[in-house]
Structure 1
Amino acid sequence: MENNKDILDGMQLNSQLSLEEIPDLDLYMDQVIQLFENKFGILKRDENEKVLTKTMINNYAKGKLFFPIENKKYSKVHMMLIAMIYQMKGALSINDVKVTLDPLNTMITEEGFDLTDLYKRYVQMADESMGQLKDEMSLLSEEVTKHIVALDSEKSDYLTQLLLVASFVNMSNYYRRAAERIVDNIAKENI
C-alpha cells in the first residue's frame, strides 16, 4: 500500500500554470491546447484522457466563460482564465464556473482590471492548499489507522484504503458544497 507521501507525490499537486509559463504573445487554439497538454498531461489517469480540446475551448467561448478572443488568438489573460476554468471544472458545473467568472470577465473588459496580480495569488494559494492537504492527509491517515487497528482484520490494508477513499470523497464533497454556496452568493449579488 502506498503511503501518503507516495500518493501526494504521484498526484503532482503542484501542477499550476504559472505566469512565467504563459507566453507574453497571443496563441492560436492549437498552441493553447499544446501548452495545457504539456503542463497538465501528467495529471491524466490514462492516455485516452484529454486535458483540453478544441471542443472544450469552443464550448467555454460559446458559454461565455471568458471574454471574446481577437483574430483567432488567445491572450495571456485568456490563458489565465482557461487555467482557472480547467481547475474549477473538476469540482463545479460549467454553469457554476460561468457564474463565478462572469464578474471577473466584466471587470477585465469594462473596467480594465489587470488579472496578473490576482492570478499570482491564485497560484500561490493553490500551493499553500497543497501544504494544508498534506497535513490533513497525515491526520486523517492516523485516525483511519486507529479505527482499522481496532477492527483486527486480516484485510486491514484494503479496509484502510476503503476508509481513506470514503473520507477523501466526503472531504471533497464538503469543499465542493462550500464552493457551491459561495457561487450561489455570487449569483445573487450579480443579478
Structure 2
Amino acid sequence: MKNMDEIIEEMNLEASLSLGEIPDLNLYMDQVIQLFEKKFSGTKRTDDEKVLTKTMINNYAKGKLFFPIKNKKYSKDHLMLISMIYQMKGALSINDVKMTLEQLNSRMIDGDFDLSRLYSSQLHLTELNRERFKESVQGHGEEVSKEVSKLNDQDEEYLEQLLMVAAMSEMSNFYRRAAERIVDEIAENNKG
C-alpha cells in the first residue's frame, strides 16, 4: 500500500473556494462552472469526472437548494452556497442538503443574513478538519498494520488496503449517520 502521506497528498485536501477567490461580480453559469472546475479539478477521481455541470446547477435551482438567481447570473452569495452544497452532497442526499440550507436560504431572501461570515467559519472548520483527518488516517494506518501483522499472511499489502478501506468506509458512515441525525433534528425544529 502507498504511504498514507502520499495518498493524502493526492487527495488535494487544500482545495476550497476562499472568499477572496469569489468575484464580487455576478457570474453566468458557464463562468461558475469554470471557477469550480479550476478550483476543484484536483479532487476528481478521474479526468472524465465533472466537478459541476449545468444540469447539477439547474437541479439545485429547481430543487430550491439556493435562493433564486437574477438575470441568469449568480452572486457571490450563490457561489458560497454552491460551494457548501458541493461539500455536503458527497455525504448527504440532495433532500438532506436542501433541508439543511432551507432556513439559511429563507434568511438570505429576507436579506437579514451575512453569508460571508458563516462561510468564513465553515472554511476555518475545514482547515481544522484537514488536520484532524490527516492525524486520524495516520492512526488508522498504524492500527491496520498491527492487525495485519497478527495475521501472518503473505499478502499483507492487499490485506492492509482492504482493512483501510473498511475502516475509512466505516468512519465515513459514522459521520454521515451523525450528520443525518442533525438534519432530522433541523427538520423537526422546522415543523414547530
The TM tier, using the shorter chain, reads: over 0.9
The Cα offsets for residues 127-153 of structure 1, whole Å up to 9 and x where unpaired, read as: 110100111111111111110011111
- Equivalent-residue separation in structure 1 for 2:4 and 2:189 (angstroms): 40
Verify: 1:124 aligned to 2:119, yes or no: no
The residue that corresponds to 1:19 in the other structure is 19
Greater mean deviation of Cα atoms: 169-178 or 130-139? 130-139
Deviation of 1:160 after TM superposition, in Å, equals 0.5
- Equivalent-residue separation in structure 2 for 1:161 and 1:102 (angstroms): 40
Unaligned stretches of 5+ in structure 1?
Answer: none
Q: Residues 141-152 of structure 1 correspond to what in structure 2 (within 5 A)?
A: 141-152=141-152
Q: TM-score, normalised by structure 1?
A: 0.98
Deviation of 1:42 after TM superposition, in Å, equals 1.1
- Equivalent-residue separation in structure 2 for 1:137 and 1:179 (angstroms): 20
The residue that corresponds to 2:101 in the other structure is 101
SS at match of 1:190: helix
**How many aligned positions are there?**
191
Deviation of 1:47 after TM superposition, in Å, equals 1.6
The residue that corresponds to 1:69 in the other structure is 69
- Structure 2 counterpart of 1:156, one-letter code: E
- Equivalent-residue separation in structure 2 for 1:76 and 1:145 (angstroms): 46
Deviation of 1:3 after TM superposition, in Å, equals 0.9
Q: TM-score, normalised by structure 2?
A: 0.98
The Cα offsets for residues 31-60 of structure 1, whole Å up to 9 and x where unpaired, read as: 000000000111111121111111110000
Verify: 1:84 aligned to 2:81, yes or no: no
Q: Which runs of 4+ in 1 moved over 6 A?
A: none
The residue that corresponds to 2:164 in the other structure is 164
- Structure 1 counterpart of 2:37, one-letter code: E
Deviation of 1:111 after TM superposition, in Å, equals 4.4
Deviation of 1:109 after TM superposition, in Å, equals 1.4
| Identity score, percent | 59
Verify: 1:188 aligned to 2:164, yes or no: no
SS at match of 2:45: coil
SS at match of 2:162: helix
The residue that corresponds to 2:37 in the other structure is 37
The Cα offsets for residues 72-91 of structure 1, whole Å up to 9 and x where unpaired, read as: 10000000000000110000
- Tell me the C-alpha RMSD between the 2 structures: 0.7
- Structure 2 counterpart of 1:87, one-letter code: Q
